[in-house]
Structure 1
Amino acid sequence: MGYPEELKAHLASGATTICRAWAVTRSDGVVLGFTDHDRAMRFDGIDFMPNTGMTAKALVQSTGLAVDNTEAVGALSSEAIREADIMAGRYDGAEVRVWQVNWADVSQRALRFRGHLGEITRGESAFSAELRGLTEALSGAAGTVYQAGCAAILGDARCGVDLKVPGYFVELAVQEIDAERAFGFAELGSFADRWFEKGRLRVLSGAAVGLVGVVKNDRLREGGARRVELWQQLRAGIATGDLIRLEAGCDRRLETCRIKFSNVLNFRGFPHIPGEDWLSAYPRQAEANDGGSMWR
């Protein structure tokens, strides 16, 4: 995140035309640009708009592995930061990039911060959001967990399953809604009972577009009808007719990986590891005590 030579020369000139610009990439892929300059700017394919009700405090940066942090504050408005989008979770974990820019020549700029939004505090007409630097990830636990179930997430790089393959997903319109958490369908083709359990429901159109829910239950009903229930309700309005995408689920067992996804070579668990009952095993008179392994 160093300064380019042109920007260094401009800063050394003594008469500068410097401002800040920051871009927020939401969880649904929408990118919003802001600046504290009084005119709009554009670079990297992003429009940075002034007077949009958002600003950022001074960056707190340090050497070493300390977490860089700052805070963004702003006003809730229908044009930029909407209360409904915050409540729906569209800004949870959003990526944030902050530049120092020569507004007279936007090619002279330096990236000064890159991280994510942390805790968001919302008031009646304003909000504040913590900005967390990239080094924060280093403060978490890291390493391999030895467990019987698979440690990969279905569809990620470690898993390797392509969820865009026909048979692993279906796209259709919502037909019945119960508290924005359970959805009913007349039929889902030839998908087996519980096929989408532990999978994902993605909203593709309507007010909740871009939101994702995790499937808790997927049950066949009489006449081939289907009921899909989420663990948590979507935090935005969804209506009948909205298009959704259901993706197959995985219970992380070796048998499921082999039979349902034909992906056993990428299984990231340890199915033969002894269970907790083995840890409490002790010799019994009715069993063979020949000095061999107690786990058979």
Structure 2
Amino acid sequence: MSRVFFRRELENVATFWQIYRRDGVALGFTTHDRNLRFDGLLHRSAPGLLPSAIRRTADLADDGADISGAISHDTISDEDLADGRFDQAKVVIGAVDWENLERIVLYVGAIDSVTRETGRFTTRLRSAKAMLDVDPVPRSSPSCRAVFCDTACTLSAARFTTERQVVSTNLDRYSVAIEGIVAADYRFGTLRWIDGPLAGLTAMIRATSSGELVLDRSIDPQIRTGCRVVLREGCDHRLSTCAGRFGNAANFQGEPFLPGNDLLAQYPTSR
């Protein structure tokens, strides 16, 4: 819209936030004293949320911002923050006229980190310009640089993804037993919960032990037998695995036979 905000002494302006989590949940908040609906989203009144000053620069430096508030709103719980449901979520911040709903977007970024302390939280945001700090030039490595089943790997994700049910869990070891699988195939893969209190969250499978999958995060005690999960197999990024197990050596994104830096440190010997 063409509305110019703050050109008059008295304005009907409130701040709004839109949060789009990676698990598909979209949340809206506003500093107004009543809920507002626009952009297909109900923006709940949350006057306890406090935005920092929003800085927009013309150079290539990241335009950071912060949001802080009390963990009291029913859509932002301490458990969700601890489980990482808001990690890397997209955030849109703007100003809205609470009478006619004219609005302007002031900031678009993603949640970089969340800090929790005594019933309050503070989120650090990073702008889209932060991607300019990423070096696009790949570095040589003996292991494959591609993410399993991405465009560089070229393997089909559907081929290595399956839906299964939980047989048992071990809360102390962060491990879970799944029916009808070869556990070793899923080492370095992912597990996404479909049912239960962790629904929508994804955990990395960092190891296997006694036929169980060892996850990188704790398991909720309410997870029961029969809970559904989506599993994706993993890859250790070695050429022997790529060629022998997947038959995909032609797309291996590494240099396994390139001499490393340790060659320069070797003492010369006769051969």
Match of 2:230 in 1: 245
Q: Which segments of 5 or more consecutive residues in structure 2 lack a partner in the other structure?
A: none
Deviation at 1:142, TM superposition (A): 4.3
Listed as ranges, the matches of 1:1-296 within 5 Å are 4-5=1-2, 7-8=3-4, 12=7, 16-51=11-46, 53-77=48-72, 79-106=74-101, 108-165=102-159, 168-179=160-171, 181-185=174-178, 187-188=180-181, 191=182, 194-218=184-208, 226-230=211-215, 232-234=216-218, 236-237=220-221, 239-241=223-225, 242-276=227-261, 278-281=263-266, 283-285=268-270, 287=271
Structure 1 residues without counterparts, runs of 5 or longer = 288-296
> How far off is 1:47 after superposition?
1.3
Q: Give the Cα–Cα distance (whole angstroms) in 2 for the partners of residues 274 and 138 of structure 1.
A: 31
Structure with max Cα Rg: 1
One-letter amino acid of the structure 2 residue matched with residue 249 of structure 1: G
Q: Structure 1 236/63 Cα, relative in aligned 2: closer, same or farther at 3 Å?
A: farther
Aligned equivalents of 1:210 and 1:52: distance in 2?
Answer: 28
Per the alignment, do residues 31 and 11 of structure 1 end up closer, same or farther by CA in structure 2, a change over 3 Å counting? same
One-letter code of the match for 1:80?
A: T
Once the 2 structures are TM-superposed, how far is the Cα of residue 169 of structure 1 from its aligned partner?
A: 2.4
In the superposition, the TM-score normalised over structure 2's length comes to 0.87
Report the number of matched residues: 269
Q: Which amino acid aligns with 1:204?
A: I
Percent identity over the alignment? 28
Distance 1:258 1:95 in 2: 38
Alignment TM-score, normalising by the size of structure 1: 0.80
Shift of 1:87: 0.9
State the match for 1:291 in structure 2: none
- Whether the 8 Å CA contact 1:94–1:117 is kept in 2: the answer is yes
**SS of corresponding position for 1:175:** strand
> Does the 8 Å contact 1:73/1:127 carry over to 2?
yes
* Superposed CA RMSD: 2.5
Q: Are the equivalent residues in 2 in contact too, given 1:151–1:268 (CA < 8 A)?
A: yes
For residues 127 and 219 of structure 2, what CA distance do their matches in structure 1 show? 27
Counterpart of 2:112 in structure 1: which amino acid? Answer: G
